[in-house]
Amino acid sequence: MITRSLRTVCELFLRNASSSVLLAFLIFLSYFFNSSKSIVRESWSNILVVREREREEKKKEKEYLR
């Protein structure tokens, strides 16, 4: 639903905009998608770090209980 409305807005914008405005819009989109990719990468790496810490803690607990 959101992607359909976003696509409609983009199509209307592209039909009515000048070339300089289109260039600015494309630069904004590239920046937005690159920043969202980096946010996803950072979040995923944080998740992996937390999981690794949990594994290490479980190993330490098992060794302690032995």
What are 22-61's pLDDT values in tens digits? 777 777 877 777 777 776 677 777 778 888 889 999 998 8
pLDDT surpasses 80 at 9 = no
**Is pTM beyond 0.75 here?**
no
pLDDT surpasses 60 at 20 = yes
Write down the pLDDT at residue 56: 92
Rounded to an integer, what distance in angstroms lies between the CA atom of residue 59 and that of residue 65? 10
**Residues 22 and 14: beta-carbon distance below 8 Å:** yes
Domain limits, the chain: 2-65
